[in-house]
Amino acid sequence: MKKIFLIGFMGCGKSTISAYMREHLHLSVIDTDKYIEKKYDMEIKDIFSTYGEKTFRDYETNSIDEVSDYEVISTGGGIVEREINIKKMKNFGVLVYLHTPFTEIVNRLKNDKTRPLWNNDLITDMEKLYQRRSKMYEAYSDVIVDTHNRNVNEIAEEIIASIKKA
């Protein structure tokens, strides 16, 4: 089976889906954000505040090669911001976009203080970021899976079925 890179906006369920795939489908899974936090012994928000977004994006780009042995790679929402990341991920496997409506993202993240780009307090700015990135996710993905009103099992099964067809 090809490597699966889960892409999508923050809060779309990448970490939840990948954890399900590890537990129920027995696939090897890694989350690039958690990998970076462990490697640099810092939370993402602290990397952003101490070194800036560019440094974090550099760490993210490097992490793609470093985690490529895993079967499922859950990525950060901004991984599509760099063309090199898209090329690397496509070289290793298939990009699966977990599409989630913005209203659902807002509901899921309303109390989340761990995401540096979400804690802006300006929902309009977040919606603009969502709209911009959504176009990238759609353009770069090999498979699009709608997560709205669906359970984790249904989403994971659709991903696996889609990968087998690809």
Whether 93 has a binding-site annotation, put simply, is: no
Q: Is 33 annotated as a binding residue?
A: yes
CB 1 within 8 A of CB 71: yes
Query: Is 108 annotated to bind ligand?
Result: no
The angle at the Cα of 86, spanning 58 to 68, to the nearest 5 degrees, equals 75
C-alpha 161/C-alpha 155 separation (Å) is: 10
| Annotated binding-site residue? 82 | no
Query: Is residue 55 marked as binding?
Result: no
Confirm or deny that 57 is annotated as ligand binding: yes
Residue 50 among known ligand-binding residues: no
Residue 64: which of 20, 95, 19, 104 has the closest Cα?
A: 95
The answer on whether 150 is annotated among ligand-binding residues is yes
38 annotated ligand binder: no
Query: Can you tell me the distance from the alpha carbon of 58 to that of 64, in angstroms, rounded to the nearest whole number?
Result: 10
Q: Is 115 annotated among the ligand-binding residues?
A: yes
The one-character DSSP state at 89 is H
Q: Which residues does the annotation place in the binding site for Mg(2+)?
A: 15
Q: Which residues does the annotation place in the binding site for ATP?
A: 11-16, 115, 150
Q: Which residues does the annotation place in the binding site?
A: 11-16, 33, 57, 77, 115, 133, 150
Q: Which residues does the annotation place in the binding site for substrate?
A: 33, 57, 77, 133
